[in-house]
Copies of this chain bind each other. A is one copy, B any other.
Amino acid sequence: MREIGVGLLGLGNVGSGVVKLLHDNAAAIEARLGARVVVRKIAVQKAEKRRLVEVDKKLLTTDARAVIDDPGVEVIVELIGGEDPARALVLQAIASRRHVVTANKFLLAAHGDELFTAAERRGVDIYYEAAVCGGIPIIRALREGLASDRIEELYGIVNGTSNFILTEMAERGVAFADALRSAQEAGYAEADPALDVDGGDAQQKLAILMMLAFGSRIRLDDIYVEGIRALEPVDFSYADKFGYVVRPLVIARSHDDGLEGRVHPTMIPRRWLLASVTGVNNAVYVSSYALGHSMYYGRGAGMMPTAMAVVSDVIELSRNILGGVTGRLPLRSFRSLTDRPMRAPGALRCRYYLRFSVIDRPGVLAQLAGILGDHQISLRQVHQEGAEEPEKPVIVVMLTHIAAEAQVRAALAIIDNLPTVARKTCLIRLAD
């Protein structure tokens, strides 16, 4: 039987899942392909280390070039992550006419154009379903499934760690630090959780989704990012009282004058389908001209879900190899990308939830409302909690009507400097 030789760069969590899945589903994969997918070499940092799966020690090497150059390797699976040495190795693989499957969202978001161009020149394929939302086939949905449609808007829960933390905070009423600890104990969060909870991971995924949805090159820095550290349990009770839930959303929109891309915790109506997406699950909700709305839901991270996306890419690539069609199908959804302008974050208009922490003195509420009014921010609801003792900070929560982000920021810059304001105001944008 014909064999497709695969070389792995990295044998961590996902790499081990790839080895396991290729083993466990070998018969089904052969039935699909009429060929066998065989791992020929694996680059690791340390040859002597306890692994999550059993692998033949002879496959391991600390020399990544040896994997790329192995004459039996047709497909390189890059699972190192980050910029270096992943970028150089993928470029070397392409130069050596190896096809590439990668789960490296940073690499694609920051250097996608360079990689795709190199691959097209060399006539090799790059697949990257695992880079966004793990096992959910959202890349295929945008690249092929909705190829004839015009995507107008996209809402996504693309970081499972953040969604798990917000779900914990909402359901158990715990503080951010406690929920983060639970996530770490459950293996959902890294020791350094910054990339997840500060939004950087979601930003990289959104850049890839926007490229596919809008056919435009996207600079990472043009996507506005806000993490979830400022949220407190009280915000979830208020959200609930108002009929909302808080989700760590990525939001992208296409406007006549440019694209909009942002990452921040968002209050969404409880009846939205995305509101039912809890825990480590991911989902992307797409609004488009012809289809209307559609949603893609599943496990966005984890060893086996991510490995599933990687191996499905290996299968598709193997079909291309077996059909003799590699390098002849587009790697992106558009033949060439444009450079659409990006809207400034300040141009946003939406509703806002504002939680103020103020010293309970006469006239404080009037002062807040006055400053907001001066900035053309009108209020839909105001809640003030009774002070337990005078001169202690109390919580004032306001829901605004649609207001301009630039005005809201200007107003908060003044408010947060008032002597009666005890702490930085917490702002959550609404989507409805």
Contact = CB atoms under 8 A, between A and B. Distances in A.
Contact of A148 (B150, B312, B324, B335): B312
Contact of A25 (B136, B273, B289): B289
Interface residues of A, number: 63
Contacts of A311: 147-148
Contact of A290 (B135, B140, B141, B288): B135
A292 to B, nearest CB: 5
A31 interface: yes
Interface in A28-60: 28-29, 31-34
A308 interface: yes
A333 interface: yes
Contacts of A136: 145, 294
Interface in A247-297: 273, 276-277, 288-297
A338 B27 CA distance: 13
A121 to B, nearest CB: 16
Contacts of A309: 145
Given A312-B144, A316-B147, A335 B33 contact: yes
A305 interface: yes
Contact of A21 (B290, B307, B336): B290
Contacts of A294: 135-136, 296-299
Nearest to A17: B290
A146 B33 CA distance: 14
A157 interface: no
Nearest to A138: B145
A149 interface: yes
A314 to B, nearest CB: 7
A334 B144 contact: no
Nearest to A335: B34
Contacts of A28: 150, 215
Nearest to A338: B31
A173 interface: no
A305 B324 contact: no
A137 interface: yes
Contacts of A304: 289-292
Contact of A146 (B273, B276, B312, B336): B312
Contacts of A34: 335-336
Given A147-B315, A312-B148, A325-B325, A305 B333 contact: no
Nearest to A302: B292
Contacts of A33: 335
A137 B148 contact: no
What 7 A-B pairs come out closest when comparing CB atoms?
A137-B145, A294-B298, A148-B311, A323-B328, A325-B325, A290-B308, A135-B291
29 contacts: A25-B289, A28-B150, A32-B147, A32-B330, A32-B333, A33-B335, A34-B336, A135-B291, A135-B294, A136-B145, A137-B137, A137-B144, A140-B145, A141-B141, A141-B145, A144-B316, A145-B312, A147-B311, A273-B273, A273-B297, A276-B276, A288-B308, A291-B308, A292-B304, A294-B297, A295-B298, A319-B330, A324-B325, A324-B328
Given A28-B150, A148-B311, 8 more contacts: A29-B147, A31-B336, A32-B333, A129-B145, A137-B145, A296-B296, A320-B329, A325-B328
Interface of A: 17, 21, 24-25, 28-29, 31-34, 129, 135-137, 140-141, 144-150, 215, 273, 276-277, 288-299, 304-305, 307-312, 314-316, 319-320, 323-325, 328-330, 333-336, 338
